[in-house]
Amino acid sequence: MLSTRTAEPAFFSKSTSLATVLVIALVVFLSSPPTSGHGLLHEQIVVVSTQLKAAPNDKTLRLRLAELFIAHSQPEKARKELSKLTNSQPPHIPALLSFASFEKRQGTHKKALSLIDAYLQLGGTKEVSHSERAYILSALGSHHEASKSWGRFLELSKSPTAQQFSDAGISFLSEGEFQKGQRIVEKGLLIYPRSIPLHQTTARLMLSLRDFKSAQLQFKKLRNHYPSLSHRLYYDEGILLSKEGLKPEATKAFKSALSQFNKLPARKKSLPALKALKIELQSKIP
């Protein structure tokens, strides 16, 4: 009868020690090329840089290199490549949008606004440019213009995210356009009925209209959807109520948040973020 025993690999003898095997495995691991994270990004940067040396006028390659530098947390190198593209004649239109988004994340909002305006003036058509412009304008305190950009974005976008619906609603709310903000948020809730940001924005709208019961109902709906987040949702409710000057109601929400927190498993309560939340809650309860 033939034996069904699997033969041992030729490169390991029976006398090979476990320690030797582990050392060999470690050498193989360390000598293997990285397959993820910054190691892979570095490899891609090397490849694209080499390609760009062979084709220095390839704007698509240069934009790809800039995006890789951004992903690899090398902002100055990214800025250098993006500047080459946007200072060329004519400017590379896709690079203007990428550069604007980059400067927005860097907090240089005036530069970001000039770049995104140039993108639109030169015929840029991506709808995301309008939401980016709205965020930039809001950061600069130009809320009226931001609302206009949100309106344009919502006209063009086929699939806004829940967060974008929420932020657009808040933008109109800050301009006193409660009904328009409410319509936007309600439309978002039809698509994302379990969205935390949208329910919270609805609560904010209701509070602005002094409709406290409706505002609190939004948080109740969220707690029904996400019972494991009740501690956080009560906290968020308390923050919103306190901003509206409703201190007794806010204190009640903070007490409920602490009560829900105390029901969490010990391993969750020991997490640094939740420890910080408990301290915050205790500081807000008289």
The 10s digit of each residue's pLDDT in 92-105 is 999 999 999 999 99
Helices 37-54 & 59-71 angle (0-180, nearest 10): 160
pLDDT over 60 (residue 216)? yes
Q: Torsion angle, CA of 31/36/42/48, rounded to 10 degrees?
A: 110
Above pLDDT 70, what percent of the chain? Answer: 87
pLDDT of residue 38: 60
pLDDT over 60 (residue 188)? yes
Q: Which residue has the tokens 């990428």?
A: 98
Q: Is the pTM here over 0.85, yes or no?
A: no
- Give the pLDDT band (50/70/90) at residue 209: confident
What gap in Å lies between CA 92 and CA 90, rounded to an integer?
6
- Classify residue 214 as exposed, middle or buried by CB count within 10 Å of its CB (0-12, 13-18, 19+): middle
Tell which residue, 181, 232, 223, has the closest CA to residue 205: 181
What gap in Å lies between CA 157 and CA 222, rounded to an integer?
27
- Classify residue 77 as exposed, middle or buried by CB count within 10 Å of its CB (0-12, 13-18, 19+): middle
Strands (E), 1-59: none
- Give the pLDDT band (50/70/90) at residue 17: low
pLDDT of residue 202: 93
What gap in Å lies between CA 188 and CA 198, rounded to an integer?
7
Tell which residue, 182, 185, 217, has the closest CA to residue 198: 185
Q: What share of the chain is helix, strand, coil (3-state, %, to 5)?
A: 75, 0, 25
pLDDT over 90 (residue 120)? yes
| pLDDT higher at 221 or 9 | 221
